[in-house]
Structures are given as C-alpha cells and as structure tokens.
Homo-oligomer: A and B are copies of this chain.
Amino acid sequence: MYSRSLLASVVALAAIGTGLAATAQDLPGPVQARQGQFQIMAVNIGVLGGMARGNSDYDAEAAQTAANNLVTVSQIDQSFHWPEGTDNVSLVGTRALPAIWENLPDVIAKWQAFGAAAEGLAAVAGDGLEPLRAALGPVGGTCGACHDAYRASE
C-alpha cells in the first residue's frame, strides 16, 4: 500500500506550487485532505472519548460505528496527502514538521500502528464501556506518538 516508489511518483505527480496561506480555505488540496482526515478521526475519537469519560452514555452502536470509522480512515492510503513542500516551514496553516519527509518509513509505520490500535478498539467497542476504555488508550497513544515526533507544538 505504501511503496516508496509510489510515494516518489506521487510526490512528482502531486507536486504543487506552495506559498503563504493565511486560512484553511487557501491551503493546497492535499493539506486540506490530510487535515480533514484528522478531523474525521477527532470527531470519532470524540464520540468514544465522551463515553469513556462519562460525558455521554455508553451506546454500543455508536461506539462500534465510531471505532469502525477509525479503522476505515486508517485504510486511506497516505500517498497523495503529503507532497513535498507542504511542511510548516514552507506553508502557513500546517503543523507538519519537515521531519516527516526525512522519515517517511517511520511515519508510515506510525500510521499503521494507529490502524492496528483502531482495529483492536473496533473488536471490542460494542462490548461495553470497560472494554472500550481499555482499547481507547492505545489508540490515543498512537496519535500522540506521531504528534510528538512530527507535529509542531504551537
């Protein structure tokens, strides 16, 4: 799914003119797409986190749906979302550190770790609040691992 050759060809294919962008609307399509996928993840984690924290009642169907959505998002091939020149040095409006492009295999591994944790969550999310809580932590861990390494803190 994530061959280096595909990544390389796509970087060429999707090469875009970058420049300063003040608002999200102005950001290049691939940046909006990757930020959008993180928004999808945030909404679904929000549903699950709300239940885990007791801010909303546990709802097995909604929990399962949200967990399934995280698995689905993890299956989106990332090749088109990270063209060269869309780091936070080249572009205003992204927190993507240049280190991403220096460590693509590790970035991909971290994305795949998120997918694996999401699958673990989806396996139990409909089984009750305690299993959901137990499986949600590792998902958050995989989010944090990537943010710590590759997302600017501001």
Contacts and interface: CB of A to CB of B under 8 A. Distances in A.
Interface of A: 1, 3, 5-6, 9-10, 13-14, 23-25, 29-30, 32-33, 35-40, 42-44, 46-47, 50, 56, 59, 61-62, 65-66, 68-69, 72-73, 75-77, 79-81
10 contacts: A6-B65, A10-B62, A14-B43, A29-B42, A32-B39, A33-B36, A33-B43, A35-B39, A65-B80, A68-B77
A42 B80 CA distance: 11
Contacts of A69: 76-77, 80
Given A23-B24, A32-B36, A40-B33, A77 B59 contact: no
B14 A47 contact: yes
- Across the A-B interface, the 4 shortest Cβ-Cβ residue pairs: A36-B36, A24-B24, A32-B39, A33-B39
Given A72-B72, A73-B76, A80-B47, A29 B39 contact: yes
A73 B73 CA distance: 7
Contacts of A38: 36
A40 B30 CA distance: 8
Contacts of A39: 29, 32-33, 35-36
Nearest to A32: B39
A15 to B, nearest CB: 11
